Chains A and B, each alone.
Chain A
Amino acid sequence: MRAFLALTFLVAIAFHATGDEPASDEALPWQPPFAAVSASEPFSMVVMLITNDDAFGLLKAKEAAEVDVVGQVPPWCQIVFERSYRKALGTRPDLKGRCFLQYLPAGMPQSLTGGSPRNQPSRAIIAICDGNYQLLSLGVGVPDSDELLTMIEDAQQVHSMIQLHRNQKARISGEIADRSMTRITRLWRDALKAMLATMDVGVGEADDGDLDEGMIATLGRIALSFQEVYLTDVRTRFGLSQAADKIRLTVLEQHPEARQPWCESMMPFIAGTDFLKTWKPLTEAVWHVTPVSHRASADELLAWWDTQVESEHLVLALQSPLLMRQSPWPPVDVGSVAASRGLGWQDLQKLFLEMPYRNVDTEQLAVLVRDRDLQPLDIQLPTRARYLFFEPQKRAPFVIREGDIPAKPIGRIKRAVKK
């Protein structure tokens, strides 16, 4: 009996070793994000994986374009995603040679979180674009092969719509909305109908091709409106009820089904937009954290910095996240006493404008901190950093936050400048 079991075991091992292993475990050809892709016919598709991995600190700006990012900073979900991708292409061999994988790590750099990692739980977004980076399909989380195939088929359908109805944004939007309506629950259908009623067409672009502030605001308004529905939805779908459940929700968002209704509802408004311009506000809308690309550069800022930093006090005003830029800054001072004494936010702003002053966004600041070896600072906690006041020869700025009372920094800065 024992001999029989041993034989069975050996047979099992042999079968396992020689069984129907996957045909190929070759490394998948990952490209850098937004690399040039030939727009061949039938059309090429870019499958872009955006994660909140922090590739920023490891790569100097000049190196970023050349380096093998996947090799240096593998996406946290590489194994699962590659398995899905391989299986999807196994099911649809016609897609081979037409799909291009790209990876964009965009987590908050540790240099802007005080040196501690703050990109947990891990996040992922999948965007499918055409060769010109027009957005065709969007998903949040890491899809399994079936989900990825659905995304690809959706992308092909949207591509056909765009080809068929060129310059008819309303029609494309309407057809995508019709498709979404069949996939979402009544709660979402009502929200989508309401949004469609208030929006003529999707998020457009300014004449010069840039996504201007007004359009970012529009995108933000749509995303925020659906975010409220989303929270109502996930509360009941996943039994979330407390603020502490936010982490659970983030983990659940690693599964595409969690945000699928949100994505379906957004698509009528964002399909066909230039993803090169919309990826940041869209990512921010999902993560509620500004994405920071390792490829960002800030040559002009660095040059300006180099000319000022040795001898002058200088101020960097950190811009709000993209979707919050409609809120006025500096805020109108609520306390009339502070304002009457010259100790309000407006007064602080005036004081700063008397010295070298620049508006910077999070990416530019990350580049500056990295490339000029400044000390890590925390721009998120305890409240969002608003101004960075640098004194000559010092690598660490005095950080003024939105939660501060402006009178205090005003006094300190005046004293510092008088020295």
Chain B
Amino acid sequence: MTSKSGDLKMTTHATRRFTARLFGCLIFAVTALPVAAVSPASVTQGRQLFERNWTSGNRQLGGDGLGPLFNAQSCVACHHQGGVGGGGDTRFNAITVGIEKLDVTGPLVSDGVVSELLRNFHPGFVNSVGGMSNTMPLLHHGGSDARLSARYEFLKQVQSEFSDEGGSVDPSEVRLSNATPILFSSTAGAHQLSLRARIYQRNTTALFGVGLIDHVTGPDIEALARAQKQHPEISGRPATLPDGRYGKFGWRGNIASLLDFVDQACAAEIGLETRRRVQPADSMNPGYRNSTIDIDDEQIMSMRDFIAALPAPTRKLPEDSEQREIVQRGEQAYAAVGCAVCHPAQMGPVPGIYSDLLLHDMGNESVDLSHAEPFIIDAIKKGKPRIQFGQSGSSPEKPKLEKSNPSGSASTMLSRSFSRSTSGYGGSGSSIAMSSVSRSLSPRRSRRSTGLSGRSDVPGGGFHFVAPEAPLEKFKVVGGVQLKFKPTNFNQEWRTPPLWGLRDSAPYMHDGRAETVLEAIAMHDGEAAGTRDRFLQLSLADRHAILAFLDTFVAPPNAPQLAN
């Protein structure tokens, strides 16, 4: 990785100046919103931490500091388009390897056999107790030579061009990478493994205005989901998390609050272990343990404060009156073809966001096996419910950090275990077959499905269940209510990204595969296919008008800038 320390350093004076401006923005932006008091000192410290080039070792806390595995040495290394906190181009994409198809043949196929064969592909797919996963984050930097060598071999197979930073060099290389499978076969004794895997990428999102998103409430989200139930094409659903909260951050809405986002990003992207999130482990150096955390709660809170203080994107209207009329017509056409259903201008208390923050099926071209937390089963109820599942999730979240057992998420892209013992594998993009000599087993799901949590407050006669372990049953009676389970296409569901700042946040789509807005629109599929087609059926003038309207969404002009 190219060191960016020289680029990212900023004078103390400049930092103070920008912090003062930022703090002013924060006061302005959130006057109508309930928000805990934030001190300018916290914002200042947060910015310094956001821009800090982390290194190995942490004398103060005793942890190992940066890494050992990391995607970048600082937050700003990836979040810098249009200023500190902006998005990043594809060079800064995070990468995961996902197994699409796995065949094991031979006598008496057991978990042990499969895991042994899978280790040959990469030991990162098998955890220390033999559990297997269908996805594995492939962090860009750090770790043992063996890990780096294995990473190199993976990327070499894809025949796509990757940058020194770690992600694809440009959107076209993302597309090439998406199109090229990694094929692997291995033999152990009488057993043969063949599998097809693929690289999945996630693009760095801009953080401008996310402080406002943090104030979107459960009822705000439910209201839009409810409204979409009446829509013939669009059926967004809230990203319900296992604790009942709604996810509002992350490409799959798998993170509920800005604080959680910072917490997770520190661990997953920079390898800074927190009290709740363990840093990614090097599967080729299994004995290594970090002695303690690398970043404390106060630091995480201050980074949250800094990010929350970042100004929201704005609109830049053309000065030319004719062009302004075109933009106005574009806004009308935008609504007329249906873009505004998923990309409404206002979401709860957030004006100009142009997102419903709901999950939508975007079609099978957008499959990514590194799915998010809310592995949801739609349950169609028959009869009246007598129980309430899970928490309501409708009260505004208060910022808090609670100690819990550190979870091992190695990335903002979560892995899901797929072994027979732990189950949960599958989804629309995975196919696992374990064939004995004379029989073939279809993908299995665990029968341990009693631990479902869920919500009953989504109208339309359905429940959205958070089901980390998918039920095998198609029907189940819970609390006197008969439920019909229907898996969702979670592998191709994505949270509607806010369109604010669009002009200054290319590339587009979750992995940055679209270089232009037109490409991004054309790539809309699944629920959005009808809207896409209506866009294409417009006259050229109206299409130009919509593109002109979208071109008015710019990064905040008062975003903090790097000194150099």
Residues on A lying within 8 angstroms of B by beta carbon are: 16, 19-22, 77, 79-80, 83, 122, 142, 144, 185-187, 233, 236-241, 248, 251-252, 254-255, 257-258
List the 6 closest A-B pairs by CB distance, nearest first: A185-B172, A238-B522, A236-B175, A239-B523, A19-B321, A251-B536
7 contacts between A and B (CB under 8 A): A22-B322, A80-B541, A186-B161, A186-B176, A237-B514, A252-B536, A258-B518
- Residues of chain B within 8 A (CB-CB) of A251 are 536-537
In whole angstroms, what is the CA distance A22 to B322 when docked? 7
Q: Please give me the residue from chain B that is nearest to A261 by CB atom.
A: B172
- Residues of chain B within 8 A (CB-CB) of A254 are 540, 543
Complex contact B544–A20 (CB within 8 A): no
Complex contact A236–B513 (CB within 8 A): yes
Complex contact B523–A144 (CB within 8 A): no
In whole angstroms, what is the CA distance A258 to B522 when docked? 11
B170 interfacial contact with A, CB 8 Å: yes
In whole angstroms, what is the CA distance A113 to B94 when docked? 53
In whole angstroms, what is the CA distance A153 to B252 when docked? 43
- Residues of chain B within 8 A (CB-CB) of A257 are 516, 518-519
In whole angstroms, what is the CA distance A256 to B369 when docked? 34
Please count how many residues in chain B sit with their CB below 8 Å of the partner chain's CB atoms.
Answer: 31
B320 interfacial contact with A, CB 8 Å: yes
- Residues of chain B within 8 A (CB-CB) of A238 are 519, 522-523
Complex contact B540–A142 (CB within 8 A): yes
Complex contact A248–B536 (CB within 8 A): yes
Q: Please give me the residue from chain B that is nearest to A240 by CB atom.
A: B522
Complex contact B176–A80 (CB within 8 A): no
- Residues of chain B within 8 A (CB-CB) of A19 are 321
Residues on B lying within 8 angstroms of A by beta carbon are: 161, 170, 172-173, 175-176, 178-179, 319-322, 363, 365, 513-516, 518-519, 522-525, 533, 536-537, 540-541, 543-544
Complex contact B173–A21 (CB within 8 A): no
Which among A22, A144, A239 has the greatest number of chain B C-beta atoms within 10 A? Answer: A239
Complex contact A80–B544 (CB within 8 A): yes
Complex contact B175–A237 (CB within 8 A): yes
Q: Please give me the residue from chain A that is nearest to B175 by CB atom.
A: A236
- Residues of chain A within 8 A (CB-CB) of B543 are 254-255
CB distance from A126 to the nearest CB of B (A): 13
- Residues of chain A within 8 A (CB-CB) of B322 are 21-22, 83
Which among A79, A122, A236, A258 has the greatest number of chain B C-beta atoms within 10 A? Answer: A236
CB-CB under 8 A for A252 and B518, given A19-B321, A77-B540, A239-B523: yes
Q: Please give me the residue from chain A that is nearest to B178 by CB atom.
A: A236
CB distance from B492 to the nearest CB of A (A): 12
In whole angstroms, what is the CA distance A251 to B543 when docked? 11
- Residues of chain B within 8 A (CB-CB) of A22 are 320, 322
- Residues of chain B within 8 A (CB-CB) of A20 are 319-321
- Picked from B319, B519, B533, the residue with its CB within 8 Å of the CB of A237 is B519
CB distance from B145 to the nearest CB of A (A): 29
- Residues of chain A within 8 A (CB-CB) of B518 are 252, 255, 257-258
CB distance from A178 to the nearest CB of B (A): 19
CB distance from B37 to the nearest CB of A (A): 36
Q: Please give me the residue from chain B that is nearest to A249 by CB atom.
A: B522
Complex contact A248–B321 (CB within 8 A): no
